[in-house]
Amino acid sequence: MPKLNFTANEGAGAWKPLPNGTYDIMMDEASTGVSSKGNPQLILKGHVVGGAHDAKTVMMWLVAKGGGWRIKQLLDATNVEYTEEATGQVDDEGRPEMSYEFDTDDLPGNVIRFDVSEDEYQGKPKNNFNKPRAPEAKKPVAAAQKPAAAAQPAQAAAQPAAAPEGRRRVVRTGGTGAQTGS
């Protein structure tokens, strides 16, 4: 029978939340589950990209019931394609309820910028991930500031131009018919 021999230091490995701030998070895994109250939820695992907390692992649990707007914000911060459909119901404030569908396999690999705050849940530290958005594009360096590149005209001509950033297709159904946006 295999045996495992290890030593555990008291307090070692205790998870610590990210300090308040703005972080770029790379989504590594996405799955669905059920919350402790029986509601569907999106479960995300990712890691910080850059800065003092580079590679720190983070987890997010986004409950669909009452918090679906947060999932939609997250989708809008990515190039993930999703469908949006009116359910025919209205919420407590009279707004039409919408149903969203997307493939969770499309989330890993996306980098999303969040405003992160520290909080507590059931006596344990946690992070809140707010205002998901696409990271800001780096500003191009002015031609005069760019370092001179070695001339390789034959090689440069053989290289295809970079493809434009992908676009997300949103299909809205119900009420006015299908629409496609980007």
Residue 5 is assigned to a structural domain of this protein? no
Domain membership of residue 158 (yes or no) is no
Give the domain range for residue 68: 21-137+166-181
Could you tell me the two tokens for 104?
A: 């969770």
Q: Does residue 24 surpass a pLDDT of 80?
A: yes
How open is the CA angle 21-36-88, to the nearest 5 degrees? Answer: 90
In a domain, 69, yes or no: yes
User: Is position 171 within any domain?
Assistant: yes
- The pTM of the full predicted model, rounded to 2 decimals, is 0.70
pLDDT for 157-180, tens place per residue? 333 333 334 444 566 554 433 334
Residue partners of 33: CB distance under 8 A and separation at least 6: 40, 41, 43, 61
- Domain CATH code at residue 95: 2.40.50
Residue type, position 182, single letter? S
The pLDDT value recorded for residue 5 is: 67
